[in-house]
Amino acid sequence: MATIEKDFLELLKEMDSYREVIALAHWDMRTKIPKNGVEQRSEVVGFLAHKLHKLETSEEMKNYIDQLKGKTTNSIIQKSVEECEETYNKSSKIPSDEFKEYVMLQSKSEAIWQEAREKADFALFQPYLEQLVEYNKKFANYWGYEDNIYDALLHNFEPGVTTKMLDEVFSKLRVSLTSLVEKVNQSKSKPDPTILKGHFAKEKQEAFSVEVLKQIGYDFNSGRLDDTIHPFEITLNGNDVRITTRYDEEDFRMAIFGIIHEGGHALYEQNISIELARTPLATGTSMGIHESQSLFWENLISRSRPFWEHYYDLFKSYAPETFQHVALDDFYRSINEVKPSFIRIEADELTYALHIMIRYELEKGLINGDIAVKDLPDLWNKLMVEYLGIEPPTDREGVLQDIHWSGGDFGYFPSYALGYMYAAQIHHTLAAEMNVEQLVASGNFAPILEWLTKNIHQYGKMKKPLEIIEDVTKEPLNPDYLVNYLTKKYTAIYQ
């Protein structure tokens, strides 16, 4: 290997070292840190993030990009250079004064948003959101785009996905989902979610979840499970992929499905090829593909009937008093209850994507200049009625519910819905190759994880999200698979 390639890999290692300790510091701050330690720790993390940012945007980095891009025969180095170039350009195209102002605006806006949400007072947040939108429009122009300015923002979270594509798939999806939701609403045979409530000791929930995690293939020698307030998966390195959860002793759903969801993210990160270690390629390729893995395990596996055919007896043994008289079929229907609701993060599998489409339409309009910030609350409520048939009582349960915009994250939301579509499309291909239902019903998850590893996980960022989808499923993104999956599942549940 040429000296310059070795030196470049050394620089990547330095950057990766900063990344790992920043990740460790974040994990610690969200799981273990004593209250009073936070203040200084925040300064420390700020310092380390700054050091990393300086390396990412250094002259040295620029030189490596210029000298290696398209000139190396090593594909890992080539892809790493491309990743580094993305990061370099993203920062270097924004004048540094503007970037500083923007960082200050972000942190102020987040605080104001929190206050506005508490008070359900959109007017408080409005001037900040207006500025955030303006900055993002400017940045999008710096970064460039071919067709729609919003594409430049989408690119940060789901490279390759365009506004045009989303308009197309979302409009199809919306028609199908709203009609399905309507059918469900009109059904006379509704599951009873109250049968799921009842005492389930935290330790027992954890023990059951750990059992499941091990069986689906999560390696506790390369990870751990801790308590937190807002659950997450975090990768310290490929052999240290941690997940967290929160327990409600009166409703097991939060922890158990949450753990399987984070476990799905973790399986992705644990199974990336070791060859990519210590490069920027050693992580999931996009927000959407990541979400497809968590949703695959959470929804398509652990909310499926075969899964509970296998696990229901074990599950009941951990909380016999609460579930001994609940029949498997009632249990299965109840964990899949559909009910239009105001809050995205509480939404069920069927309505979730509709929540996303509302945000997509609005942020696309904001960035394109078709929508004014001041009109957001009314438009939000209008779309809620149109898509979900319900109207939020206040902006707290409406336009103010999500943190994303207050941090300037425009273009992020679509990834969630893409995750649903990717997951269903991937599952369809998998099911053509093996009898997934039978494997799940017998608790034999290894062939499934092997297939996901071979087709998706191992590549890390070596392949772009749409490349993964096309290589695996032999066709472009197609929302029909999600619609077919949901139609079949929910038609059966709501007969």
The binding site for Zn(2+) comprises 261, 265, 291
Compute CA distances 56 → 63, 127, 153, 280, whole Å: 12, 32, 20, 11
Closest to a copy of itself by CB, 22 vs 132, is 22
Whether 115 is a known active-site residue: answer: no
Beta carbon nearer to a copy of itself, 3 or 40 = 40
The edge-to-edge listing of strands for the beta sheet with 225-227 is 225-227, 240-245, 233-237
CB nearer to a copy of itself: pick between 236 and 400: 236
Contact 296, 426 (CB under 8 A): yes
Longest dimension (CA), the chain: 71
The CB-of-284 to a copy of itself minimum distance in angstroms stands at: 18
CB of 137 to a copy of itself, least distance (A): 35
Reference 456, options 340, 321, 284; nearest CA is 284
H or E, element range at 347: none
Q: Which residues bind a copy of itself (CB under 8 A)?
A: 13-14, 16-17, 20-21, 24-25, 28, 32-37, 39-41, 43-44, 47-48, 219-224, 236-240, 277-278
Closest approach of a copy of itself to the CB of residue 371, in Å: 43
| C-alpha–C-alpha distance, residues 64 and 77, integer Å | 10
Nearest to 495 by CA among 341, 347, 352, 329: 329
SS3 26: helix
Residue closer to a copy of itself (CB basis): 48 or 379 = 48
Q: Shortest approach of a copy of itself to residue 15 CB, angstroms?
A: 10
Q: Is the dihedral of CA 391, 396, 400, 401 positive or negative?
A: negative
Closest approach of a copy of itself to the CB of residue 63, in Å: 21
Does residue 264 contact residue 293 with C-beta atoms inside 8 Å?
Answer: yes
Q: Evaluate whether 366 touches 133 at the Cβ level (below 8 Å).
A: yes
Could you say which of 158, 262, 349, 363 is catalytic? 262
Q: Which CB sits closer to a copy of itself, 14 or 60?
A: 14
Tell me the H-state helices in 271-304.
287-295
The SS3 of residue 136 is: helix
List the structure tokens of 111. Answer: 């605080």
Catalogue the active-site residues. Answer: 262
